[in-house]
Structure 1
């Protein structure tokens, strides 16, 4: 009789523990389901890159996928359907793994991945000639920001071929070097041309500058958008004479000596201390003498 009562108690305890376990499991699963529903309500499904996509590569189910994204931070231009992305579209810019695929980074459904498709409204693509010197030793690559300078002969100065250099354009984006427009290609390469993104006026300036002088590029930090006032530099600025004249102390003028016979004794005048310029040769008898032509007289 006693063993029977003990058996009943053990069975009752087991059933009670089982009921408690089943109840806890049910409510835990229910709570987890509710939390998952709540999280999903705050998430959106957008298209992201499943692997690195190079410039010009076509988009397909092999390199893009749908992924959960916080609904309150979905970027502008994101796609919510794979069909909208994989239908005759290509990457206009490199896309890394996990990055959202945006409308600004892919071509239209009926267009190809070209430089023209990547140009913002109101911008033009203009190519300028380069070499290892004017192209910063090959370090100018797609995506860089450069200043454009032009070196040309001083207008109207044909005697001594004096040259000047002007800053033509500032903070211009490089969208291609030779036939390469992939911004992920960062290795230095000596190129023959660089394609720059400019407005209509900048395109006219570049076209004229390539016909009248030599184009040079100067690399700048991409985040540096300052545009200081351009200064024209001439051949005279390459010598120290200009600085020496500017810093030399002022000298008293030479005294004027009066003579009775002015024709025989002309008045001595201080020589004009201008910058070196053209010279002319005068032959007196058999003795040639070079005389410098002073500027500003």
Structure 2
């Protein structure tokens, strides 16, 4: 009985080993055939390694090395002006590019969707959190003779006439400093800072808080605005400045001289014989 059990066990082991051997041969043949098919597909559809986005990139976001990867792309469907190892998105040592349009995950980077190295995506990328863009009308005088450039800082002065019945109110036109250190983000329709040409602008766009925008809008509708260019490294804060015609010319306020009035004298007249005598008495009124 033991001999029969041993023979059955040996036969079972032999059959199991044969099955494993056949399974390995089958799997190996399948992998070989799959690899051959892949090679055929690669040979039939040539591909090229190009840069694609690893995540969704929104408008105005900088594109860094962590946002891109090289992936095979069919050569017959390569986009125009793509980026590969020979022409990387960000050259070594150059500033990163910025997305000019939304870019989806696994989408190929194209030159039409990226800015130049170090450039921005427009005014919205220059506005900080809580800031708004506001345009101010200028001319050759109020615009500092065309020497203004984007990223410069200016003081804003308002000149107008204050209507008031108060005797202590300023006389004539008044010039007052209403905003200081306001940053320019565009001159006319140009936001590039590299230009060196002098241009007489008609409008300048500043970055300001909503409260500053309201003040500038009110000032622009009720008077004239003038800009004063600040030094690039000037970190001083201007004090409250207000000048009217009287203070400009150094005129003092006229003092009205009051004429002293004589003390009132009351009297009564009495007749003594042929004489009239006037006697002073206290005034009752």
Q: Which of the two has higher C-alpha Rg?
A: 2
TM norm structure 2:
0.49
TM norm structure 1:
0.48
